[in-house]
Amino acid sequence: MNPDSAIALRHRALVAAPRAEVVALAARLAGRHEVRPHALPQEGLVLLTLEDGVFRDHFHLGELAVATAEVEVAGVRGGACLVGGDREWAEAAAVCDAVVAGRLAGVDEVEQLLATGWDKIGQTASERAAMRAATRVRFAELGEEPPC
Amino acid sequence: MLKLESLWGEASQSRLHRSLIAAIARPGEVVDSVSWLGGRRAWLGVLATLADGGTTLHDLHGLIDERDWAMLGANRAGWGDAAFVLADAARAPADDLRLDRGSLIRPETGATLVLDCAQVGSGTGSEILRGPGVDGQRILRFDGIDPLWWRLREAHAGFPQGIDLVLCDARRIACIPRSTVLGGTTAGGGGR
């Protein structure tokens, strides 16, 4: 797997995991390892730039409130950029990210949390699929068999 | 959760910002910011306040270590393009050093030169300052500034174009914006 994809998937699961559990776990990990900031943690607005599908022009969809954090845990870098502007959550996610990236002590706990995140993502996907299914309509001309 | 050095904290940055505004508004007036620097030199406090991911910075004499570069978040640029240039005042600038002095249409793009000096507000060198923000004249004392830095400032002058100077030592800051007229000196090490 592309390492960037692995990081993106990890971040997706971290964001889906309960915030309180991520913050509590990161605090425990910070007690075990030396944690230092790599860059200044920040919260603010970023412009979301997208490319239109026809002319391939870039346009700004709008602004998003985000929080970013980059840390070094026992010399291993980790980072997070979360929508919502919650800096404490971003810092905690960055610590968890570094522990997984470096396979440091405590990685099992983080992976359990990631599994919780994936469960939540799966549950949300199922709920949305059920909601979409309830709105399905079948179009059929008179005399034709309805499409399956 | 993350423990930031006090220099990078919001309270210190806010106070440093206010100090810088006061220093720029009153050229040559020395601001002591030791309480907010956490033991770091004043130039880092100045850059921490002014630089971010939207600005460009050039470190002429390699004063910034990689860790501080990451914390500053500024983009590296050549000395001719950088919005902020940091230099060791004791070392003479190269003859061909040309900073961005802005243009008549966009004078605000003129560079800010941050000089790390041995002393600001005391010392054997001095300059007499006149102009906006100075009631009559003000004498700024300093030590450890190579005279060629003053010549560099003159070479870039031509208001509204020009470069702004921020002089820093271990804990003190003084500003000499491009609108300030330097005239007359007293004898002393490093002065003109």
Q: Has residue B1 been placed in a domain?
A: no
Q: Residue A147 falls within a domain, yes or no?
A: no
Residues B74-126: pLDDT tens digits? 999 999 999 999 999 999 999 999 999 999 999 999 999 999 999 999 999 99
SS3 B93: coil
Domain range for A33 is: 3-54+71-124
Whether B60 has a pLDDT exceeding 80, the answer reads: yes
Mean pLDDT (chain A) is 90
Is residue A145 one of the residues assigned to a domain? no
pLDDT digits over B131-162, tens only?
999 999 999 999 999 999 999 999 999 999 99
Asked if B1's CB is within 8 angstroms of A40's CB, the reply is no
A31 token code pair: 């007690």
Q: How high is the pLDDT of residue B189?
A: 43
> B105 is in which domain, residue-wise?
6-186
**Percent of chain B's residues with pLDDT above 90:** 83
The confidence band for B39, taking pLDDT boundaries of 50, 70 and 90, is confident
Contacts 24+ apart (CB under 8 A), A107-115: A109/A25, A109/A28, A109/A29, A110/A25, A110/A29, A113/A13, A113/A14, A113/A17, A113/A21, A113/A22, A113/A25, A114/A10, A114/A13, A114/A14, A114/A17, A115/A13
- Whether residue B135 lies inside any domain: the answer is yes
Q: Which residue has the tokens 């960055």?
A: A94
Q: What residues in chain B have their Cβ under 8 A from chain A's Cβ atoms?
A: 1-4, 8, 70-73
* Beta strands across the sheet bearing B75-76: B31-32, B172-176, B164-168, B112-116, B84-88, B56-59, B75-76
- Is there a domain that residue B191 lies in? no
Residue B15 lies in a domain: yes
Q: How many CA atoms lie within 13 A of A90 on its CB side?
A: 23
- The side-by-side arrangement of strands in the sheet containing B138-143 is B138-143, B119-130, B181-186
- Cβ of B8 within 8 Å of Cβ of A40? The answer is yes
User: In chain B, what residues touch A30 (CB-CB under 8 Å)?
Assistant: 1
What number is the average pLDDT over the span A110-132?
95
The domain that holds B132 is classified in CATH as: 3.40.50.11310
Q: Do A39 and B4 touch (CB under 8 A)?
A: no
The answer to the question of residue B176 being in a domain is yes
User: Is the predicted pLDDT of residue A143 greater than 80, yes or no?
Assistant: no
Chain A contacts of B8, Cβ < 8 Å?
Answer: 37, 40
Specify if A131 maps to a domain: no
Q: Which class for A61: exposed (0-12), middle (13-18), buried (19 or more C-beta within 10 A)?
A: exposed
| pLDDT more than 70, % of chain B | 95
Mean pLDDT check: name the lowest of A84-88, A97-101, B57-61, B72-76: A84-88
Kindly list the residues from chain A whose CB atom is less than 8 angstroms away from the CB atom of residue B73. Answer: 39-40
* pLDDT of residue B169 exceeding 70: yes
User: Would A76 be classed as within a structural domain?
Assistant: yes
What is the ipTM, given to two decimal places? 0.74
Answer whether residue A8 shows pLDDT above 90: no
Query: Would residue A38 count as lying in a domain?
Result: yes
Give the pLDDT confidence score for residue B191 in this predicted structure.
47
Using pLDDT thresholds of 50, 70 and 90, give the confidence band for residue B188: very low
Please say if the pLDDT value at position B40 is more than 60: yes
B97, part of any domain: yes
Is residue B192 a part of any domain in this protein? no
Residue A21 lies in a domain: yes
Cis amide leading into B160 (omega within 30): yes
Domain count, chain A: 1
- Structurally, chain B folds into a number of domains equal to 1
- Report the gap between the CA of B75 and the closest CA in chain A (Å): 13
pLDDT band at A138 (very low <50, low <70, confident <90, very high): confident
